[in-house]
Structure 1
Amino acid sequence: MKDFFYGIEDLFVNVLFAPFDALRALELESWFSANIISWIFSIIGLVAFVYWMMQLAKYNSNNEEDKSVTAHSYL
């Protein structure tokens, strides 16, 4: 049973966490190269937010939503 848990440890430490070790090594070389991944995720989030707002504006301009007071029970 001990070998089973050592196998799980080996999987996580040497395989699944390897990209994080590469990022840690990248951080020591350059601050900008280490933070490029954060910028990529920020840009993806911004694009998704703009797309979502454009979809909401499209549905709002088509008057497809029931905006009456009794449309939702919690109102």
Structure 2
Amino acid sequence: MKAFFNGIASLFVDFLFIPLDFLRSLELTSWFIANFINWIFMAICAAAMIYWILQLRDHKAKNEEYQDTTAHSFFK
């Protein structure tokens, strides 16, 4: 059983973390390039937020928003 867990540790440390080790060593020379993955995630989140806001504005302009406060029985 110990060999199984050592195999899993070897898989992650020796193979799957190689790109992250590269980014960690790259941070000493260029912080912006080392955090490129973070910049991509921030751009995706910003695009999703802009899309969501535009959709909300579109629904409000078409009066499709349902704002009845008696939608639930406990509001009566």
Q: Fold conserved (TM > 0.5)?
A: yes
Give the TM-score, by structure 2 length: 0.78
1:1-57 deviations in Å (ceiling 9; x for gaps): 221111111111122222211110111221222233322222221111101111111
Give the TM-score, by structure 1 length: 0.78
Please give the alpha-carbon distance, in whole angstroms, between the structure 2 residues aligned to 1:23 and 1:62: 47
User: SS of 1:28's equivalent?
Assistant: coil
Ranges in structure 1 where 5+ consecutive residues have no aligned partner: none
Q: Identify the residue that residue 53 of structure 2 maps to in structure 1.
A: 53
Structural RMSD (CA):
1.9
Aligned residues: 75
Aligned-pair CA distance for 1:69 = 1.9
User: SS of 1:71's equivalent?
Assistant: coil
Q: Identify the residue that residue 41 of structure 1 maps to in structure 2.
A: 41
* Higher helix content, 1 or 2: 1
Percent identity reads: 53
